[in-house]
A = this chain, B = another copy of it.
Amino acid sequence: MTEATWYAPRNSMTKPRIASGPRSFMRLPVVEEPLTASGPVDIAVVGVPTDSAVSYRSGARFGPEAIRSASILLRDHNPATGVNITTDLSMVDAGDAPVVPGYHDLTLQRLQQHLEPLYRAGIVPLILGGDHSLVMAEMRALAAVHGKISVVHFDAHGDVLDDYYGVKHFHGTMFRRAVEEGVVDPARSIQLGMRGSVHPDDVDAGVALGYEVIPWPELDTLAPQEVGRRIRARVGDSPVLVSFDIDFIDPAYAPGTGTPEVGGPSTYRTVQYLRALGPLNYVGLDIVEVAPPYDHGDITSHAAAVVAFELLGQVAVSR
């Protein structure tokens, strides 16, 4: 790897996409060696194949594989936004992070160590989960480099519970822990899309922690551009992580997930929100909770791949 290299997807016009060999994200080159030079790599796609710490359906450990597989269909240009991410961003697939099934705390430690050098090098990792509990390591690593970060959190669930059967870390507590640990600034963070039945302890918990929360019944009434304005007003120029739980989208569109919550937005509405994000100081991206064993026709993986594509487009226009 030399400074001069520009990393872009394999050409799909000489061999069909189906002949792209081992499935890397968007047919990008796989570069797993230390990516610590701040130069040519803008985006490093990192798989985090975890699902230990989930309360309902497991399976998200195969999320990275499935999203990579679906992503070979992504072409370079986005006609709706006019962005070509492959010319604007130098991107690699950096393989998978280390995980330790059954040992969530150990997973968080190893994952944080794996990610921190990337953030330090100015690279934006696009994390493909894996269950949402991984975001704890992501936020800790980000805070170690950037200080308190903002979070834009798309999800059907607030993930602000205090504990569950006596443990403090699982896929429903991270955004409470993050405030407690001081790695996230809730006053510059926002949660969108919460819906469905909740535990009584969970009512208004996000707001109590200091987050702005737009639950789905309210979000449904807002135009995407208005949503974009509220997000930008909240986040300002702080370093921001966009954390996207695929269960934000209605299970009709994204059935392959661990904790499906019926009654949410369509994929197109979701894409409109993402396009409305606009320029921000993006430092982290994740797409989590894709659980392929519950998917069909790979539609969840394709939805996740498109969410990634739109998020990358927003990073591109922010540079």
Contacts and interface: CB of A to CB of B under 8 A. Distances in A.
Nearest to A169: B102
Contacts of A167: 100, 102-103, 106
A102 B53 contact: yes
Contacts of A296: 255, 294, 296-297
29 contacts: A13-B163, A13-B165, A15-B165, A16-B49, A16-B164, A18-B55, A18-B99, A18-B101, A19-B49, A19-B97, A19-B98, A21-B47, A22-B24, A53-B101, A54-B101, A56-B73, A58-B61, A77-B198, A78-B197, A79-B197, A79-B203, A80-B195, A102-B103, A216-B268, A251-B297, A260-B299, A262-B268, A293-B294, A294-B298
A113 interface: no
Nearest to A47: B21
Interface in A265-315: 265-268, 270-271, 293-299, 302-303, 306, 309
A102 B104 contact: yes
Contacts of A236: none
A52 interface: yes
A302 B260 contact: yes
Contacts of A293: 57, 59, 293-294
Given A18-B101, A19-B49, 20 more contacts: A15-B99, A16-B99, A18-B55, A19-B98, A20-B95, A22-B68, A22-B93, A23-B23, A74-B197, A75-B196, A75-B202, A79-B197, A79-B203, A100-B165, A100-B166, A197-B309, A250-B253, A255-B296, A262-B267, A294-B297
Interface of A: 12-24, 30, 32, 47, 49, 51-59, 61-62, 65, 68-69, 73-80, 84, 93, 95-104, 106, 133, 163-167, 169-170, 194-200, 202-203, 215-217, 220, 250-253, 255-256, 259-260, 262-268, 270-271, 293-299, 302-303, 306, 309
